């Protein structure tokens, strides 16, 4: 005789909903957005169906639509013109730069939208690296100084949270000190604390032309600063240091292949955890759906829910707009 039957709590959707351990909401989403120079311009990103580079005016229009759907946070990335790139990244803190003007335009149009600009030098670098290069190496501390200037310029433009994604050592402290000294006590830091050197970033780098350049004099990849994907204990080390330095939110990136890292970090800290459903994950799902191998809508909701189940509080995903419509 069987007395304990787990299937009793799966008998119908009402019962399954009653005992459900986690739920997905539009409030969980942050939408990454690519911005380009120009006016009334939009370019499709071939490897990311449904995702575009847009000029500022069309970006503002998209943000208004996102907010109307309940997506209340955006993560900004700039497609920087080649003539503005160098080895210092100085365009990154130009008060009249593309990022700064984008932040201002969104804040003016949608004041309650939470704006999280990316803080990293790779879109501004002639080498496609996240740091300044000297003698063939990415130098840490000078890069931190540049990142701090970049973060302050974002705060001056109206950013709510700055999001350093570079993985330099000590950059959270450098940014926090710079923000405090400049009077931006309420601007938060979302630190990419555990960002792995992953092969799942390909479509993103194509979208921004930010991949490391093929140059024998510089590192061919980002493995000297992004994490080794073989490691998990190292992620906790990175997280603890960033928490101590003043991070307000901790990011783990990529997403689906790293749910074990999310779960470990969730057990170790009380701060909010973000996870990035990166471009390669999005592209794989879309390619499979276009070939009829997956149900697009069901796969999106299932994968995003898995992030919540693992312990994430917020999800950076290119499917944010689509998921918001599905959840309605």
Q: In CATH, what number is assigned to the domain containing residue 265?
A: 3.20.20.70
Give per-residue pLDDT as tens, 245-272: 999 999 999 999 999 999 999 999 999 9
Does residue 15 fall inside a structural domain?
A: no
Report whether 238 belongs to an annotated binding site: yes
Residues in CB range of 85: below 8 A, 6 or more apart = 91, 124, 125, 126
Nearest to 258 by CA among 289, 300, 230, 223: 230
79 among known catalytic residues: no
Q: Containing H/E element for 64? A: helix 56-68
Band (pLDDT 50/70/90 cuts) for residue 212 is: confident
Q: What angle do CA 148, 204, 222 make, to 5 degrees?
A: 60
User: Hey, which bits of 91-200 come out as E strands?
Assistant: 114-119, 132-134, 137-139, 161-164, 188-195
Does residue 9 fall inside a structural domain?
A: no
Q: What is the DSSP letter of 257?
A: G
d(CA 5, CA 30): 39
Does residue 12 fall inside a structural domain?
A: no
Q: For the chain, how many structural domains are there in total?
A: 1
Does residue 13 fall inside a structural domain?
A: no
Q: Which of 253, 286, 308, 321 is catalytic?
A: 253
Does residue 250 fall inside a structural domain?
A: yes
Give per-residue pLDDT as tens, 94-148: 999 999 999 999 999 999 999 999 999 999 999 989 999 999 899 999 999 999 9
Does residue 20 fall inside a structural domain?
A: no
CB atoms within 10 A of CB 291: 8
- Tokens 């670098």 — which residue? 125
The burial of 81, by beta-carbon neighbours within 10 Å (0-12 exposed, 13-18 middle, 19 or more buried), is given as: exposed
Does residue 292 fall inside a structural domain?
A: yes
Q: Which of 85, 195, 264, 321 is catalytic?
A: 195
Output the pLDDT for position 137: 92
Average pLDDT over residues 294-306: 97
Give per-residue pLDDT as tens, 65-74: 999 999 999 9
253 among known catalytic residues: yes
- Domain region containing 268: 25-327
Mean pLDDT taken over the chain = 95
Does residue 49 fall inside a structural domain?
A: yes
């Amino acid at each position: 005789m069987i007395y304990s039957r787990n299937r009793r709590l799966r008998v119908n959707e009402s019962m399954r909903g009653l005992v459900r351990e986690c739920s997905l909401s539009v409030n969980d989403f942050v939408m990454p957005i690519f911005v380009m120079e120009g006016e009334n311009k939009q370019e499709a990103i071939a490897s990311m169906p449904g995702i575009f580079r847009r000029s500022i005016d069309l970006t503002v229009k998209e943000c208004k639509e996102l907010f109307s759907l309940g997506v209340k946070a955006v993560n900004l990335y700039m497609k920087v013109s080649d003539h503005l790139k160098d080895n210092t990244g100085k365009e990154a803190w130009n008060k009249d730069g593309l990022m700064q003007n984008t932040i201002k335009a969104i804040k003016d149009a949608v004041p309650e939208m939470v704006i999280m600009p990316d803080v990293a030098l790779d879109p501004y670098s002639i080498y496609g690296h996240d740091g300044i290069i000297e003698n063939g190496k990415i130098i840490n501390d000078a890069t931190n100084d540049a990142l701090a200037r970049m973060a302050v310029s974002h705060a001056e433009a109206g950013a709510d949270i700055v999001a350093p994604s570079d993985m330099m050592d000590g950059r959270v402290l450098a940014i926090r000190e710079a923000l405090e000294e400049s009077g931006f006590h309420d601007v938060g830091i979302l630190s990419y604390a555990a960002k792995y050197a992953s092969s799942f970033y390909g479509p993103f780098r194509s979208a921004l032309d930010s991949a490391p350049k093929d140059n024998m004099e510089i590192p061919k990849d980002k493995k000297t600063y992004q994490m080794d994907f073989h490691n998990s204990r190292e992620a906790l080390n990175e997280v603890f240091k960033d928490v101590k330095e003043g991070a307000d939110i901790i990011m783990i990136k990529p997403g689906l292949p790293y749910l074990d890292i999310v779960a470990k970090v969730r057990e170790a800290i009380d701060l909010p955890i973000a996870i990035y459903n990166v471009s390669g994950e999005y592209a794989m799902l879309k390619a499979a759906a276009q070939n009829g191998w997956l149900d697009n809508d069901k796969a999106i909701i299932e994968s995003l829910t898995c992030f919540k189940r693992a312990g994430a509080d917020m999800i950076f995903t290119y499917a944010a707009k689509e998921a918001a419509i599905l959840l309605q």
